[in-house]
Amino acid sequence: MIKNIREKFKYILFIPLLIYLGERSLIAYDEGYYALQARWILDKGNWIAPLWFDNIVLDRTIGVQFLIAISQKIFGTNYFALFLPITLASIMMLYFTYLIHRELLGNKFAIVSPLILITTFLWINYANMATQDIIFASAITFGVYATIKAYKSQKEIYFLFCGSWIGLSFMFKTYLTFIPLIAISPFLIQKKIIQNRLFWIGLILGFLPFILWSFSILRSYGFDSYNGLFEKLITLSKNNTFTNPFYYYLWNLPLNIFPWTFFLIPGLIGSFKIKDSITKYFLFFYPLTILLFLSLFSSKTQYYPLQILSLFSINIYLGIISISEIKNKLNLFVRFINFKFLPLIIILSLFLINLRIIDLNLSNIQIKIISVAFLSYSISLFSFNFLKIRKSKIISILLGPYILFIFIFHSGFITDRSRDLRLASESLIQNESLNKRYIETVKSDINDSVSHSKIIKILLQMPNIGNGIESLEDLKKEEYAWSTISKDKLKIQEDIILINNDEIFYPWKLVIKR
């Protein structure tokens, strides 16, 4: 009975970092864009093509938008329903991380790897974004687990799963799926997994959603619209706004896997030394191969490596074990940095922040939250120096990031991302009684990245969105519209009345036609 209680308690540990009950608001790219497209699915009943107002935008599939729309159709148009698909995918990724740890390293401390994953900044940040990135990463993690199980158990169901993840991943991130597929192919070929017919049946079944969607697009809109998927690949493979140098991930990934950065290198060294070929392949060669191919691709973003974070979390666990037990020069250096130097730097920084010598442009309450969170983190790290038992050392290392991210998660830093605009929108809706009014948008005013980004965030807050108009001349009497019209032009057009010119909505203004 006590053992069962312990097992259940392990899962309860994840709840504070998965369930958020406070106010939410979204950023523009990409989650706001996907949330709007899901809303237009429900408003216009078009479950096939991604929309921007009434225009079809086929530069991506309709994967995550479709899931969000289904969730909102069942549970209502609220943030719980909006984030439900992402939350479920996050839980799956954590669970498969736990299972992969057990398969590669055994049952001992298997819960540590998903706890590391959930307290990694990159992961928890995107686990709270309404995008397809965590869903894609979860599908890749599922594929890794299914591949390992297919080889080890030789059970038919795992061969089926081993092929199905490819098509499912393709439905969400299309061509990015080729990178993990290339990285895992040597294992599939060497272990003769691709010779099993159930692998190919799984491959076909996994591609069914994409095939059916593609057929529907071609039948309804023709190849010219569908061609947008290929054009996006060409755009991303050339110089563009996401183009970064080859070494981009050498600095960006360590920054984004905070606070586990210094444990990764000892972990990778440890996984390379492991004699078991399967464990070495999936903990060392597979993730580093993916990182290499991501570095060769022109477009580089901070979220592309999400797909290998499960395996890096297991490597970080190995790094923690190594640092706790082995006293070589590298480990002693990492111990000094993590458990002595870093806590001192954090406490000094908090002192300067509270004295306003370092200005983070945050409110007093936000500074207090950050101070308590990082102070708890520092104390937990520093306590490592006085502990002797390995289990106690592991707990002290985990406890700091765990408390840190609970504070960050529930304070709204990564959940209420557009708080000021949300509050201004709520005030505007209440003051102008806009709850039952459809508000138009002058589409021709969306002519740069600033106006495009801001209108996405504004429309997400509006209770009802119109179909969009080309100019204010198309606005009917007593109708509202968002426009970037200048004050000089407003003086000329006497029938257009300015309702709100709050700076938070810049460059947009809410007007009404009288």
- Rounded to two decimals, the pTM is 0.94
Residues paired with residue 442 on neighbouring β-strands, in sequence order: 469
Same domain, 380 and 506: no
DSSP state of 476: P
Residues 179, 227 within the same domain = yes
Count of all residues that appear for the chain in the document: 514
The confidence band for 388, taking pLDDT boundaries of 50, 70 and 90, is confident
| Domain C-terminal end among 290, 316, 342 | 316
The answer to whether residue 353 sits within a structural domain is: yes
| Whether residue 82 is found in the same domain as residue 127 | yes
Query: Using 50, 70 and 90 to split pLDDT, how confident is the model at 281?
Result: very high
What is the average pLDDT value for the chain, to the nearest integer? 92
Which residue range is the domain that position 394 belongs to?
A: 327-410
Residue 225 has pLDDT above 90, yes or no: no
Q: What is the mean pLDDT of residues 64-70?
A: 97
Same domain flag for 152 and 260:
yes
Query: End of a domain among 410, 435, 461?
Result: 410
Mean pLDDT of 469-487: 92
On whether both 59 and 205 belong to a single domain, the answer is yes
My answer on whether 261 and 374 are in the same domain is no
For residue 388, tell me if it sits in a domain: yes
The distance of Cα 225 from the centroid of its chain, to the nearest Å, equals 28
Inside any domain, residue 366: yes
Q: Which residues of 491-507 are buried (b: 16+ CB within 10 A; e: fewer)?
A: eeeeebeeebeeebbee
What is the pLDDT averaged over residues 471-480? 92
Q: Which of 1-5, 125-129, 196-200 has the lowest mean pLDDT?
A: 1-5
- Ranges 119-133, 142-156, 300-314, 334-348: which has the least confidence: 334-348
Percentage with pLDDT > 90 across the chain? 76
CA–CA separation, 60 and 38 (whole Å): 13
- Give pLDDT tens digits for 240-250: 778 889 999 99
One domain, residues 374 and 399: yes
H or E stretch including 439? strand 439-441
In terms of domains, do 254 and 392 share one?
Answer: no
Number of domains in the chain: 3
pLDDT for residue 338 is more than 70: yes
Assess if residue 322 is contained within a domain: no
Q: Choose the final residue of a domain: 379, 410, 441.
A: 410
Task: Please tell me whether residues 42 and 156 are part of one structural domain.
Answer: yes
Is 345's pLDDT higher than 90?
yes
Arithmetic mean of pLDDT, 202-231 = 89
Q: Does residue 321 lie within any of the structural domains?
A: no
